[in-house]
C-alpha cells in the first residue's frame, strides 16, 4: 500500500491526543491493524474510525484495555448479526413478493 494513503500513528496520536503506547497495545491485542513501512507504523484510512472509537472508549469513558477488548468483540458480533438480519429480510421480501 502506498504510504501516501496511510496515516502515521504518530500523527494520529498527536492530533487526537492519544498515547502511542495505547495504540500499540490495541495492535498487540489484535484490535487494530498496523502497517509498518520503513520502520514507521501506519494505519489505513479505512481503519481510522475504529481506532477513534476505541480511543473514545478509553479516554472519554475510562474503559481499560480488557474492557475495550470485550466490548470490541461484542460490537463485532452485533454487526455480524445485523448483517445477517439484513440478508434474511431481503430473502423474506423475495418470498413475500411472489
pLDDT in tens, 61-73: 999 999 999 999 9
Structural domain contains residue 66: yes
Question: Residue 70's domain spans which residues?
Answer: 7-97
* Sole residue written with cell 476505541: 54
Structural domain contains residue 1: no
* pLDDT for 23: 96
Structural domain contains residue 18: yes
* pLDDT for 96: 87
**CATH of residue 61:** 1.10.1660.10
Structural domain contains residue 2: no
- Residue ranges, the chain, pLDDT below 50: none
Total number of domains in the chain: 1
Helix (H) or strand (E) holding 38: none
Closest CA to 50 of 79, 72, 28: 72
* pLDDT for 85: 98
Helix (H) or strand (E) holding 22: helix 20-28
Amino acid at each position: 500500500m502506498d504510504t501516501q494513503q496511510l496515516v502515521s500513528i504518530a500523527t494520529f496520536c498527536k492530533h487526537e491526543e492519544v498515547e502511542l503506547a495505547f495504540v500499540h497495545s490495541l495492535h498487540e491485542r489484535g484490535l487494530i491493524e498496523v502497517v509498518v513501512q520503513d520502520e514507521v507504523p501506519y494505519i489505513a484510512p479505512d481503519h481510522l474510525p475504529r481506532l477513534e472509537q476505541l480511543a473514545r472508549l478509553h479516554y472519554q469513558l475510562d474503559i481499560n484495555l480488557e474492557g475495550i477488548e470485550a466490548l470490541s468483540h461484542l460490537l463485532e458480533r452485533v454487526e455480524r448479526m445485523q448483517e445477517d438480519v439484513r440478508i434474511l429480510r431481503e430473502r423474506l421480501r423475495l418470498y413475500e413478493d411472489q
